[in-house]
Amino acid sequence: VKALQLFAHMATVSVPLTTITYNAAISACSKGGEWERVLGLLANMSVSRVQLSDVTCQAALSACEHGESWQHSLALLSEYCVKFPDPDGMALGSVVNACRMANSWAVACSVLERELSRWLELDGFKVDSPHEDYQLGLQAPGLHILFQSRAVLAVLKTPQSTTEALLEQLRARLVQLGGPAVTLVSRLDLKTSGVLLLALGSSTSATANCVRAQFAGRLAVKTYHCLCSGSSISAVGSRAERSAPLASVVGEEAVPERTCVLLSGGQESCTAFLVKAFYRLQGTGGEPDERFMFVEVRPITGRQHQIRVHLASLGRPLVSDLVYGSQSFASESRWCPRTFLHCSRITLRDVDGILCRVEAPLSPDLVDALEFLRIDVGGAPTNVKVLATDVIMLCGLAPVRQDSWNL
């Protein structure tokens, strides 16, 4: 409201209203969820003949996404594509997510397929052309390739490596082989292991933007497994969601990394989780047993440290998490030397519409941590040991494929 008041005041004192001032007002309305005001500002721009920019359109699409106004999103996307024909995965993802939230799945699939076809044509990328297989050549010390097509590449990230170091190693290897560029489309924190996904192509390529659109549209699914401190908050097999806004802050000297805290004015954030098993660690010297909960997690949104913050906010911080579970870090780090968080699976569509699911087994250090504990069957209504074993023994690195764009 204050942004619009200032915007109106500028007109009364003869300050010229330019694309930049309109962008600022539209961005403010977008963050406030005022999508109808955004449409009014866009209409004023048209009447005043103020030129639209890509920033204007992206902010407007974001506003319509949060307002679940998918019809207006589609109209804006059509105008946006005429003015700015180059691929923009984030903009397309906003439209797809607006359609998804309105349960208009057929529309979401149609617009995604249409735009991807247009992008591939702009790039000269032929879906039916023969594969150029870089997979065997990419395998090298320190590189474990989980999956590779002409458009998507997945590697195994160990807790000792960083996302950035793996990216540079892949780029150097592809240069040696005369292969394509590679673009990071999703990252894992330093101590998180598991599937790391990349796109084969430059940051502006159709392939990279196809993957971005799926993440922005919440069509790509990342599945994590983690161990939380504390007794179970529900029975094995129970599903729940944690929705709470998040915001980033600069960490203190003791914790130099950026951390995220719960704020009423933060970004919309939602995490779905499934209780898989209970564990316990026998107390010593008369101390009570320590209890733990093994959880499968799917972040619906993708905020920094989202899983860690949401579970900590429920009083169930991840094991050995120094930032959000510091009270128990000293004791837990003796048998689990790093934060117990692993990206076990990513599911998305390749550029040819084929469903790809890439999996990574739980890393050896996390398996060792679970083996240090005992299965707690005390309050479990199902066979917990079987469930836990199924998770630990995640297998099959080859993707499961299924033709069609139906989600």
C-alpha 401/C-alpha 394 separation (Å) is 17
What phi and psi, each to the nearest 5 degrees, are found at residue 193? -105, 170
Query: Which residues lie closer than 8 Å to 333 by C-beta, 6 or more apart?
Result: 320
Q: What is the pLDDT of residues 103-119, one digit of tens each?
A: 787 888 888 888 888 88
* pLDDT tier for residue 167 given thresholds of 50, 70 and 90: very high
At residue 11, the pLDDT reads 59
At residue 404, the pLDDT reads 29
* pLDDT tier for residue 134 given thresholds of 50, 70 and 90: very low
At residue 373, the pLDDT reads 93
Mean pLDDT is lowest, of 3-7, 53-57, 293-297, 401-405, for: 401-405
Query: Contact 335/329 with Cβ under 8 angstroms?
Result: no
Mean pLDDT is lowest, of 16-25, 274-283, 289-298, for: 16-25
In this predicted structure, the answer to whether residue 133 has a pLDDT above a threshold of 80 is no
Mean pLDDT is lowest, of 7-21, 236-250, 286-300, for: 7-21
- pLDDT: is 193 or 190 the higher one? 193
Average per-residue pLDDT in the chain? 80
In the predicted model, what is the mean pLDDT of residues 372-376? 88
C-alpha 166/C-alpha 162 separation (Å) is 6
At residue 379, the pLDDT reads 47
Longest dimension (CA), the chain: 78
pTM of this prediction? 0.81
C-alpha 326/C-alpha 320 separation (Å) is 8
* pLDDT tier for residue 394 given thresholds of 50, 70 and 90: very low
Query: Contact 246/303 with Cβ under 8 angstroms?
Result: yes
C-alpha 284/C-alpha 8 separation (Å) is 68
In the predicted model, what is the mean pLDDT of residues 376-401? 36
In this predicted structure, the answer to whether residue 194 has a pLDDT above a threshold of 90 is yes
At residue 9, the pLDDT reads 56
At residue 345, the pLDDT reads 97
C-alpha 77/C-alpha 113 separation (Å) is 14
> pLDDT exceeding 90 applies to what percent of the chain?
34
Q: How far is CA 149 from CA 3, 136, 154, 211, in A?
A: 47, 12, 9, 13
Q: What is the pLDDT of residues 69-116, one digit of tens each?
A: 777 777 777 777 777 778 788 888 888 888 877 778 788 888 888 888
- pLDDT: is 49 or 378 the higher one? 49
At residue 10, the pLDDT reads 60
In a 3-state reduction of DSSP, which class is residue 387? helix
In this predicted structure, the answer to whether residue 135 has a pLDDT above a threshold of 70 is no
Q: What is the pLDDT of residues 8-57, one digit of tens each?
A: 656 565 667 788 888 888 777 777 667 778 778 877 877 788 877 777 77
At residue 392, the pLDDT reads 30
In this predicted structure, the answer to whether residue 308 has a pLDDT above a threshold of 60 is yes
At residue 184, the pLDDT reads 94
